[in-house]
A and B are shown apart, each in its own frame.
Chain A
């Protein structure tokens, strides 16, 4: 396969950045998308040019590091797939592929296709944890959890924090991520003590980071590589409404 790539090049946070066209020949359809970029980078290095910077780690679709806007699709055309698990057989010979970084004020570009997703860490730090005793795992039957709750919590816990929801959102909102991190704890007994302070803290941190507001447009769930459902945002909304209308069980208020 011979492909034309238009890639966003930006030497640093201060640089204005631009789309640069590259030709990549002899791409195997069995390559992953990132392997195709590796091939391009090796050629650039041999030619004495600066290779294209992009984030990646596990290349197994579970770490959440890779994140590319491919032809206007977060993680590319295949649903439920991260960019690293996307294969070149999804494209055809002679295609032109546009590759851009996630675009959000809260995700500033560090270089080329690499963005700083520190804003997600700040949201987690604002409440995405439990004050349960740590140590070895407790006996599984000691705390009963309803099957439906366990399933819904697990569905949310599948979030890998890649940021595709923000990238695809017409409002640049990170609400699907925030909702997933709230829901995975609020549905389980271990998450109950901080349930209502958590949701307020995390939504506040989300807004402070410069993400947009959610309008339930539903783009996020379409591109989410882990298929986090849009109903998760409803669970967050319900917790938020309860938290803001009831103060009796919040210490110090």
Chain B
């Protein structure tokens, strides 16, 4: 859970930094997207690095889901008779929503790939013009796309808030002061990542990027 989660988090950081290139203009953003396909060329074929990354990420996602499913099934089996009166879990909201939040994120990732990688669900859908794809995607009349994107990113934020702390704990974080630090790091990281991802659609929505 922790190791695959960290791999996915590293990708999220790189992906967010890449997204923010949109503020440096259409040609710069398109050039960046094109460069991603050229990493490692001529040692690798065109888009070779991307495919290695895709296989790695897919493996990490599948292992992450597998571990989560094992934990969920074990939890279900561990309490065959439920409580008649059960208080809401008092830990954090983030810890409580890990499983359903994960499902929302998975559905979003599938949509997101169909939208901005393959272009199937995108009004422009031209892989050679990613800037135009993004701008068309978050246009004000397609507000529901922005709404779903926001929902998924907020779910991701909650997922990371508990996930980052939990991963540090699973990997052996063991002192009380370290726990406080780990919680602060998880919260700040989740907020920064949320902001970094949300600033793009809202910039398009408000006309800052067009």
* A interface list, Cβ under 8 A from B: 6, 8, 17, 19, 69, 71-73, 98, 100, 103-106, 170-173, 210-213, 215-219, 222, 229-231, 233-235, 237-238, 241
Contacts and interface: CB of A to CB of B under 8 A. Distances in A.
A25 B12 CA distance: 60
Nearest to B95: A217
Contact of B78 (A8, A71, A210, A238): A210
Given A215-B166, A216-B170, A219-B89, A100 B75 contact: no
Nearest to B80: A105
B179 A230 contact: yes
B95 A218 contact: yes
B24 interface: no
B81 interface: yes
Given A171-B74, A213-B71, A234 B169 contact: yes
Given A72-B87, A213-B71, A241 B171 contact: yes
Contact of A234 (B74, B83, B174): B174
Contacts of A72: 83, 85-87
A98 B84 contact: yes
B170 A212 contact: no
A22 to B, nearest CB: 15
A203 B76 CA distance: 19
A42 to B, nearest CB: 25
B174 A238 contact: yes
B91 interface: yes
Nearest to A16: B81
Contacts, number: 106
14 contacts: A19-B84, A72-B87, A100-B83, A104-B78, A171-B74, A212-B79, A216-B162, A216-B169, A218-B95, A222-B91, A230-B179, A234-B169, A235-B174, A238-B172
Given A100-B85, A215-B95, A237-B170, A105 B79 contact: yes
A182 to B, nearest CB: 12
A154 B71 CA distance: 31
A216 B162 CA distance: 8
B74 A215 contact: no
Nearest to A18: B84
A215 B80 contact: no
Interface string B68-106: 001100110111111111110111100110100000000
A237 B83 CA distance: 29
Q: Max chain A CB contacts within 10 Å: which of B70, B166, B169?
A: B169
A233 B178 CA distance: 13
A213 B179 contact: no
A219 B83 contact: no
B173 interface: yes
